[in-house]
Amino acid sequence: MIERRRILKALAASAITLPFAGLFAKSARSAPSVAKRLIVFYFPDGVPAPQGQASRFHASGSELAFSLPENLAPLEPYRSSCVFLNGLSMGGTDAGSHPGGAKKLLTGVDGGGGESIDRYLARTVGAGSPNRHLYFGAMANQNAASGDKHISYPSPGTTVAPEDNPILSFQRLFVPQGNGTQDTEGASVIDTVKGDLDDVRASLEGAERQKLDLHLEALREVERRVKGLSPTCGGAAVDISGIDASQLYSPERFPGVLRAHIDIMVQAMACGLSQVGVVQCSQHTSELIMSRFPATPLYKANFDMRSHQASHYGDPGDPKFADYVAQRTWFASQFAYLLGELQKRPDGTGTMLDSSVVLLCSEVCDGNTHLHDNMPFVLAGRAGGTLRTGRLLSFGYRRHSDLLLSLARAMGDGATSFGQECQGVLPGLFV
């Protein structure tokens, strides 16, 4: 019996002709005026921004002359590609609640009563991609996580679970099911099932019908893969050899799982397999014992400090505060790693970072008070030259719906409003 379930070294090495070259070309716009892809990077339990004290996360200064505090130090090498955002609020409803914040974060609607921006873009500008949406987690489903722990809403009020296992993500994206031969039988199977779906859908109403609409969309995505040639993703190898599928929920393995999922995300996007992705670190009110991350500044032998536990530091004088600050810096360093991977890869006349828009976010502001004002948001990537980066934009009070709308615009979607209290795109953000 296999005790340790691991793939020793899985490679996606040889560059066979991209079967989706045609599709890819279509999605690569002639004018570099919008982002080709959106990646959302989420971490749980907010940031150290104690009342009456300087935030350890928010940038300070003027639009062009600003400094990055401790938490954002890892973003220093990328500051010219980032837009730091202060003063965005998610509104008063459920302020003080982790789940309440997670529900509003990407939907812009109280109680998660809307489709999230990632799902919206996946079905609009991303609709032509072989995989419209990628949703990867690291310990995001731990302990039968309830739906409010997940931030991506395919339909109002409904979340789905991210994939926590990089081996499965790798397999689905890079290990084709066929051998480049067309599955003609599969195509007629899908035609039959589509007929069934249409019939069943017609017998339903309201939310139930919407469920079948989503099912049909999902099947169409399978259909494109079945009727086309199986995609083969060329380029550099993604190394998932360190992943042990039986240890996905050991805190010691968290950094490795997260790293693998970032690598798979970047590689899939580099191949044009998807344009929209979300990486979710853990889950709100996180039990993740970050003091067990090996070979990181967070490591402490025989001492357990969880994310949510540290976030309730009480007073900045409490030793937990230092742990909390260090944890948030670590999350920012993982975001920096993602930016670095994007920057490494040439795309057109620039890099993948230039042609992307990437969002760093959490579900509350300060972890001790859980409030939903001055939310910790950082945008990165030039979005194909659309965004004026290297800036700090500060707003008095503005709903983060405007940020979500701005993401849509950066991706070339023509939406004029998104979420609640939306006034328009963030002023000063676009070129």
Partner 1 sequence: MKTNLSWTLATVGVSAALGTAFGCGRSGDDAAKADVASGEAQYAALCAGCHGTQGEGKTAPTLRHWTRGEPALAGIIDERMPLGDPAKCKGKCATDVAKYILEKLQGDLVCAAPRPTARGLRLLTRREYRRTVQDLLGLAFATKGGDTCEASFRYDPQGRSVSKVHVAGSFNAWPATTAAGGWPLTLTGAVWTGKRTLPQGQYLYKFVLDERDWIADPGNGKTSPDGFGGNNSVLDVQCGVGGGAADPTTSFPVDTRPEGFLFDDSARGRIVTPVLADEYFRAATTLATVAVGDLGKITGCANLGDEKACAASFVARFGARAFRRPLTGTETARYVDLTSKQGSLASGVRAALRAFLNAPQFLYRSEQGTPQKDGTYRLSGFEIASALSYGLWGTMPDDVLFAAAEKGELDAPEGREKQARRMLADARARETVGTFAEQWLGSENVASATKAAQLYPAWSESLGASMAEETRRFVTSVVFDGSHTYEELVTAKYSMVDDRLAPLYGLAGGSASFEKRDYPDGTRAGILGHASVLTATSHSDQTSPIRRGLFVRRRLLCQELPAPPPNAGGVPKVDPNATTRERFAQHTANPTCKACHQYIDGVGFGFEPFDAIGQKRTQENGRDIDPKGDMNDVEGLGTQTHAPYTGLRELGQILASSRAAKACVVKQYGRFVAGGVDDDACASSDVVRRFEATGGDLREMIVATFASPSFVLRRSAP
194-223 positions binding partner 1, by CB under 8 A: 195-197, 199-200, 203-208, 211-212, 214-215, 217-219, 221-222
* 246 belongs to the binding site for partner 1 (CB under 8 A): yes
Angle between helix 319-344 and 254-270 (nearest 10): 30
Candidates 173, 175, 145, 174; CA nearest to 160 is 145
Q: Is 53 in the site for partner 1 (CB under 8 A)?
A: no
Instruction: Give the residue, chosen from 19, 249, 373, 415, that forms a contact with partner 1 under the rule CB under 8 A.
Output: 249
- Cβ neighbours for 289, distance < 8 A, ≥ 6 positions apart: 251, 304, 305, 306
- Binding partner 1 by CB under 8 A: which of 28, 160, 236, 415? 160
Contact flag: residue 80 with partner 1 (CB under 8 A): no
Residue with tokens 């719906």: 401
The residue count for binding partner 1 (CB under 8 A) is: 106
* Structure token digits, residue 42: 């989420």
Task: Say how many CA atoms lie within 13 Å of 190 toward its Cβ.
Answer: 18
Indicate the length of the chain as a whole number. 431
Instruction: Give kind and range of the element (H or E) at residue 405.
Output: helix 401-410
- Residue 409: CB minimum distance to partner 1, A: 25
Could you give the 3-state DSSP secondary structure of residue 224?
A: helix
Q: Is 12 in the site for partner 1 (CB under 8 A)?
A: yes
The residue among 285 and 355 lying less far from partner 1, judged by its C-beta, is 285
Residue in 289, 338, 411, 429 binding partner 1, rule: CB under 8 A: 289
Q: Is 265 in the site for partner 1 (CB under 8 A)?
A: no
> Cα torsion at 324, 330, 336, 337 (round to 10°)?
-160
Token digits of residue 1: 């019996």
| Residue 146: how many other CB atoms lie within 10 Å | 10
Q: Which amino acid is at 9?
A: K
Q: d(Cα 81, Cα 91) in Å, to the nearest integer?
A: 28
Cβ density class 47-61: b for 16+ within 10 Å, e for less: bbbbeeeebbbbbee
| Residue nearer to partner 1 on the CB measure, 156 or 390 | 156
**Binding-residue pattern over the window 161 to 200 for partner 1, x denoting contact by CB under 8 A:** x-x-x-xx--xx-xxxxxxxx---xx-xxx-xx-xxx-xx
Contacts with partner 1, 16-35, as mask; x by CB under 8 A: x-------------------
Residue among 28 and 127 whose Cβ is closer to partner 1: 127
Residue type, 179: N
Query: Considering the complex, what minimum distance in angstroms separates the CB of residue 274 from partner 1?
Result: 10
Q: According to CB under 8 A, which residues from 220 to 239 bind partner 1?
A: 221-222, 225-226, 232-234, 237
- Give yes or no for residue 420 binding partner 1 (CB under 8 A): no
* Residue from 107, 368, 374, 386 binding partner 1 (CB under 8 A): 368
DSSP 8-state code for residue 430: B
By CB under 8 A, tell whether 73 contacts partner 1: no
**Are 275 and 130 in contact, with CB atoms under 8 Å apart?**
no
By CB under 8 A, name the one of 251, 255, 412, 419 that touches partner 1.
Answer: 251
With CB under 8 A as the contact rule, the residue among 8, 31, 65, 295 that binds partner 1 is 8
Rounded to a whole number of angstroms, the minimum distance from the CB of residue 392 to partner 1 is 27
Query: Does 121 interact with partner 1 (rule: CB under 8 A)?
Result: no
Among residues 56, 320, 391, 398, the one that binds partner 1 under rule CB under 8 A = 320
Q: Is 109 in the site for partner 1 (CB under 8 A)?
A: no
146 belongs to the binding site for partner 1 (CB under 8 A): yes
Q: Does 409 sit near partner 1 (CB under 8 A)?
A: no
Q: How far is the CB of 196 from partner 1 (least distance, A)?
A: 5
Give the residue with the Cβ less far from partner 1, 336 or 371: 371
Tokens of 80: 């010219």
What's the rounded Cα separation, in Å, for the pair 414 and 386? 14
Report yes or no: 74 and 424 within 8 Å, Cβ to Cβ.
Answer: no
Packed helices 166-174 and 254-270: angle between N→C axes, nearest 10 degrees: 10
Residues in contact with 357: Cβ distance below 8 Å, sequence separation at least 6, in sequence order: 35, 37, 38, 39, 379, 380, 381, 383, 386, 387, 407, 410, 411
Q: How far is the CB of 258 from partner 1 (least distance, A)?
A: 17
**Binding test (CB under 8 A) with partner 1, winner from 144, 295, 396, 414:** 144
Does residue 133 touch partner 1 according to CB under 8 A? yes
The residue to which tokens 């990181």 are assigned: 296
The reply on whether position 132 binds partner 1 by CB under 8 A is yes
Contact 384, 33 (CB under 8 A): yes
